Amino acid sequence: MSSSAPSTIDAASRALAAGELSATDLASAMLDRIAAVEPTVHALLTVTADRALADAREADRRRGAGESGPLLGIPIVLKDLFATDGIRTTCGSRILEHYVPPYDADAVTRLARAGAVLVGKANMDEFAMGSSNENSAFGPSRNPWDPGRVPGGSSGGSAAAVAAGECLGALGTDTGGSIRLPASYCGVTGLKPTYGRVSRYGVTAYASSLDQVGPFAHTVRDVSVLLGAIAGHDPRDSTSAPQPVPDYVAALTGDVRGLRFGIPAEYFADGIATAVEKSVREAIETLRGLGATVVDVSLPHTSYGIAAYYLIATAEASSNLARYDGVKYGHRAKRGADELLEMYRHTRDEGFGAEVKRRILLGTYALSAGYYDAYYRKAQKVRTLVRNDFRRAFETCDLILTPTSPGTAFRIGEKVADPLAMYLSDVFTVPTNLAGLPGLSVPCGFDEAGLPIGLQLLAPPFEEADLLRAGDAYQRATDFHERRPAEIGAASGGRSEASEQQSA
Amino acid sequence: MPVSLEDVDHIARLARLGLTDEERTALRGELESILGYVEQLAKLDTGGVEPTASMRDDSTPTRPDRTSNDDDAEKLVERAPDRQGTYLRVPKIIEASE
């Protein structure tokens, strides 16, 4: 069934509307697929089989009653930091291993209203801190293109689930690249919307001035459908934006004539893999061939982004994660049961993994007496410089085009011993978050090992429609987003169809 | 920026984070290396640059300050590791915190 089931939201939605397929059939096909590939991919921390079948029956009933809609009956997964009423929500952490929220996140409510079918909760780096998924307390997800490699992080489970065909769409969050990096590594499409575009009510906070919710799917068209469903003001999130939500699907005209793409030299510097640069430069030519204009722009503070990010994000994290204290919910240590401070220390020692501890300590340091001005405040000023770079660049272009990451998916274990090397995977995605801009990653090629390469497009605040129009036009002209990993089975050596095609 | 084990202990205390000896030692070196990397920011002249704390250029929106009794106390408290009725129970608090 899985091989014949539609692999995009658009195709499934048409089949459901035509009555060729029921939501229940589709959900069953996805659950079969999950059972077949999860032992290898481990994209999910919880498979919500009963919920999926109940949601699907409800979608079929609603359709029978005359309802329609692009997400009615569509199977999706949620990164395991979206609160789901009655369904375990771990954030990839031991401290919340058994936590069951009493309410739904706003994005979850909106997807349910649109008729989406929840098939699972996706694996992630603990509290969204990581670039590889290896910081999950429950073991990493594996890249469907090569199970010996990481899917990227922190929303690695969401990206891997889409790439492996376990769902048709997924939600993740992006604080420094956590949607775009895994989208790039897994060969799927991922969007980080403008800061404030999607409500974060019910989404576990990591770094509140940077966090944003966004969708994954195979195509820009599908991502546009998902964004339309989850975007919009929510009075329960004071940072959610009041701007009206345009019809993102209607914006997909296929026409990029006259659209000006800025190419920043700083994103093609030393350290970028040859295959990545080649594919991205080919993408520039593809867009030029479609009638787009290409201009040079400069983002001179790009190289300072990671340093500023790791001070700001960790400072905010040290504050946000203070709530995990063993009192209101989550794990409480048995040790230290007779004294409050000891109970806090043991609870947090037992509950948090190494990267979370590292970031809490770094953030606490950056905020502590005597260091605040030199680190935290300095980083906030550099953030202003990064933001000004983009403002100036967008005076001469409509969109900015870059690689999503300097490289492709690395091997599991390769960067674990060197936190700084891991952080540098995000060098091209972090500046976008510092500036609050929307960013899209679309597949644009494969390297010599058959691993997917991502193209990143950036836009001014709330110009997602332009971003999606450009990404969709690119996908109409290319087929990288249509390639799928080779059949994922036990003891797969990780060879993929694409790698065979590439080497042939 | 050299980081000592005493520095690690100090910030771990501020963060209410227990650490094993092994973690203390590893974290000392890692923090030193990361802080060494972020030192590059000091080279940037940020004189006259305003810090960015929020992405919203307008002020934080306000909403009516209304109370509600929608929340079900039992539903919230039943997730607590230790409780008595609808109270959360914690170990005794001795002296003032350090």
CA distance B43 to A264: 22
Residue A357 a catalytic site member: no
Q: What is the pLDDT of residues A440-456, one digit of tens each?
A: 999 999 999 999 999 99
Asked if residue A174 lies in contact with residue A434, where contact means CB atoms within 8 angstroms, the answer is no
Q: What is the pLDDT of residues A211-232, one digit of tens each?
A: 999 999 999 999 999 999 999 9
Asked if residue A142 lies in contact with residue A160, where contact means CB atoms within 8 angstroms, the answer is yes
Q: What is the pLDDT of residues B24-34, one digit of tens each?
A: 999 999 999 99
Is residue A216 one of the residues assigned to a domain?
Answer: yes
Instruction: Tell me if B93 and A340 make a contact (CB, 8 A cut-off).
Output: yes
Is residue A446 one of the residues assigned to a domain?
Answer: yes
Is B12 near chain A, with CB under 8 Å?
A: yes
Q: What is the pLDDT of residues A96-113, one digit of tens each?
A: 999 999 999 999 999 999
Instruction: Tell me if A195 and B55 make a contact (CB, 8 A cut-off).
Output: yes
Q: What is the pLDDT of residues A292-348, one digit of tens each?
A: 999 999 999 999 999 999 999 999 999 999 999 999 999 999 987 789 999 999 999
Q: What is the pLDDT of residues A366-388, one digit of tens each?
A: 999 888 999 999 999 999 999 99
Is B70 near chain A, with CB under 8 Å?
A: no
Average pLDDT of chain A to the nearest whole number: 94
- Provide the pLDDT for residue A259: 97
Token readout for A136 is: 């999950």
Residue A154 a catalytic site member: yes
Token readout for B53 is: 């704390």
Is residue B39 one of the residues assigned to a domain?
Answer: yes
Is residue B63 one of the residues assigned to a domain?
Answer: no
Residue A79 a catalytic site member: yes
Is residue A378 one of the residues assigned to a domain?
Answer: no
Is residue A60 one of the residues assigned to a domain?
Answer: yes
Return phi, psi of residue A176, to 5°: -145, 10
Is residue A366 one of the residues assigned to a domain?
Answer: no
Is A319 near chain B, with CB under 8 Å?
A: no
Residue with tokens 């509950």, as numbered in its chain: A351
**pLDDT of A431 above 80:** yes
Is residue A488 one of the residues assigned to a domain?
Answer: yes
**pLDDT of A233 above 80:** yes
- For chain A, give the percent of residues with pLDDT over 70: 96
End-to-end CA distance of chain B: 26
Total number of domains constituting chain A: 1
- For chain A, give the percent of residues with pLDDT over 90: 91
Total number of domains constituting chain B: 1
- Provide the pLDDT for residue A490: 47
β-bridge pairing A293-297 and A260-264: parallel
Is B73 near chain A, with CB under 8 Å?
A: no
Instruction: Tell me if A385 and B46 make a contact (CB, 8 A cut-off).
Output: yes
Choose, from A79, A121, A192, A415, the residue flagged as catalytic: A79
Range of the domain at A185: 9-302+384-503
**Min Cα separation A448/chain B (Å):** 32
**pLDDT of A353 above 50:** yes
The residue in chain A having the minimum alpha-carbon distance to the alpha carbon of residue B35 is A362
- Measuring CA to CA, which residue among A448, A458, A440 is closest to residue A408? A448
The residue in chain A having the minimum alpha-carbon distance to the alpha carbon of residue B79 is A329
Is residue B14 one of the residues assigned to a domain?
Answer: yes
- Provide the pLDDT for residue B64: 85
We report the CATH number of the domain holding residue A186 as: 3.90.1300.10
Cβ burial of A446 (10 Å; 0-12, 13-18, 19+) is buried
Band of residue A269 on the pLDDT scale cut at 50, 70, 90 = confident
**Interhelix angle for A274-289 vs A464-477, to 10°?**
100
**Min Cα separation A322/chain B (Å):** 8
**pLDDT of B65 above 90:** no
Instruction: Tell me if B55 and A100 make a contact (CB, 8 A cut-off).
Output: no
Is A127 near chain B, with CB under 8 Å?
A: no
**pLDDT of A504 above 60:** no
For an interface test with B, the pick among A341, A343, A383 (most B C-beta atoms closer than 10 Å) comes out as A341
The lowest-confidence range among A134-143, A235-244, A252-261 is: A235-244
The lowest-confidence range among A130-134, A206-210, A367-371, A426-430 is: A367-371
Going through A80-142 in order, the beta strands assigned E by DSSP cover: 117-122
SS3 A456: strand
Neighboring chain B residues of A308 at a CB cutoff of 8 Å = 41
- Provide the pLDDT for residue A501: 33
We report the CATH number of the domain holding residue B40 as: 1.10.20.60
Residues 76-95, chain B: which have Cβ within 8 Å of A? 76, 79-82, 88, 90-94
Q: What is the pLDDT of residues A48-92, one digit of tens each?
A: 999 999 999 999 999 999 999 999 999 999 999 999 999 999 999
**pLDDT of A502 above 90:** no
Asked if residue A363 lies in contact with residue A376, where contact means CB atoms within 8 angstroms, the answer is no
The residue in chain A having the minimum alpha-carbon distance to the alpha carbon of residue B32 is A362
Is B57 near chain A, with CB under 8 Å?
A: no
Is A339 near chain B, with CB under 8 Å?
A: yes
Order across the sheet with A439-446: list the strands.
A44-47, A117-122, A75-79, A169-174, A212-217, A189-192, A439-446, A452-458, A399-403, A260-264, A293-297
Q: Is the dihedral of CA A18, A19, A23, A29 positive or negative?
A: negative
**Min Cα separation A301/chain B (Å):** 9
Is residue B61 one of the residues assigned to a domain?
Answer: no
Is residue A150 one of the residues assigned to a domain?
Answer: yes
**pLDDT of A158 above 90:** yes
- Provide the pLDDT for residue A495: 38
Q: What is the pLDDT of residues A160-201, one digit of tens each?
A: 999 999 999 999 999 999 999 999 999 999 999 999 999 999
Choose, from A178, A224, A318, A405, the residue flagged as catalytic: A178
- Provide the pLDDT for residue A420: 83
Is A377 near chain B, with CB under 8 Å?
A: yes
Is residue A499 one of the residues assigned to a domain?
Answer: yes
For an interface test with A, the pick among B34, B35, B66 (most A C-beta atoms closer than 10 Å) comes out as B34
Range of the domain at B31: 1-45
Is B50 near chain A, with CB under 8 Å?
A: yes
Distances (CA, A) of B2 to A183, A359, B33: 38, 18, 9
Residue with tokens 């801190």, as numbered in its chain: A129
